[in-house]
Structure 1
């Protein structure tokens, strides 16, 4: 049987809650990461220095969601109840039992905390255990070493590099580094993520 395509839902962990992304999250998101060039240099397009500018980016994500391209989530910090970033399922193919986790960012205050570990644990658990996916991929810019290290820490396997994959906003070309987790690898990755979250 093919996998089940993802749909908007709420996924709750110890530290964060993933909920369907909406325009109502905009003020929190701007407070978390608006104007931070280090976040947005890897997201494509100019850094949003105003809430309206971030609203344009958010609207683009939601428009893609309406077309079925993305299933985006706000990452909500449970202790404060405020959105601190967003993430998405994309490149969804239920017949081939695969999807991608991407378009992810968090406010700088939450880097190297339990947030990324738990976000990935929730998304991967939902993808493999509830949707029946056989492959989940992640990709990042070959120059974004921080992102590559974060993906490797969750236990995803580096597959290779797609050269000259995407034009950056400045006109230069990005190579994309691909990682994946397969269904048969998921139990050990889940154990690893659960242990990391507890530390």
Structure 2
């Protein structure tokens, strides 16, 4: 079972997402542009966010850790992220369901958050593979994932049904444990 844990760098703190983060998270997630490539905008109202938190974000502590992303300098919630789809047998998981408010995009937030998640996944959980997935057309997200050093694997055609009934093609990336030392060194030089 995954134990809730806080992860910290000099600029970002990842805290287990709780009810106390929801008001700030909802305000950070108000911009509709944040949800263009995401199937469900769970920040569109306090009621939807509360339902998402209780029904989705907490669905299985054996398979996921959900975090609020906090900017250390201001102590503000800047978004959320998670390690999920943990496969204990094959020692792999996915990092994603990340959103970062517009005020913090293209800042230190994503680099620090992903560094903390990757370090925890490889060095504490002992995983050998981390996946990242995003909409094929979400070039901003694809660039951010590639910038981390993740290996682009493929486009998975029609692998996710969207709320409107259409299907999305998904770009899949990975980082493995043998890639981690070089990626870690590069990320630490940016922190």
Q: TM-score range by the shorter chain?
A: over 0.9
**Which of 1, 7, 16 is the aligned partner of 2:3?**
7
Name the counterpart of 1:40. 35
**Which of 15, 38, 48 is the aligned partner of 1:19?**
15
**Which of 139, 156, 162 is the aligned partner of 2:156?**
162
| Residues 2-29 of structure 1 deviation map (CA, whole Å, 9 limit, x = unaligned) | xxx6431010011110011111101111
Matching of residue 70 in structure 1 with residue 100 in structure 2: no
2:82 and 2:97 in contact (8 A); partners too: yes
User: Number of matched residues?
Assistant: 191
Name the counterpart of 2:119. 125
Matches within 5 A, 1:1-199: 6-34=2-30, 36-46=31-41, 48-66=43-61, 68-197=62-191
Q: Which runs of 5+ in 2 are unaligned?
A: none
1:32 and 1:84 in contact (8 A); partners too: yes
In the aligned structure 1, how far is the partner of 2:127 from the partner of 2:178? 11
Normalised to the residue count of structure 2, the TM-score between the two structures is 0.93
1:90 and 1:100 in contact (8 A); partners too: yes
Query: What SS is found at the alignment partner of 1:133?
Result: coil
Q: RMSD value over aligned CA atoms? A: 1.6
In the aligned structure 1, how far is the partner of 2:111 from the partner of 2:187? 6
1:40 and 1:47 in contact (8 A); partners too: no
In the aligned structure 2, how far is the partner of 1:118 from the partner of 1:46? 24
Measure how far apart 1:46 and its partner are.
4.2
Measure how far apart 1:163 and its partner are.
0.9
In the aligned structure 2, how far is the partner of 1:47 from the partner of 1:143? 21
Normalised to the residue count of structure 1, the TM-score between the two structures is 0.89
Query: What SS is found at the alignment partner of 1:24?
Result: helix
Measure how far apart 1:181 and its partner are.
0.5
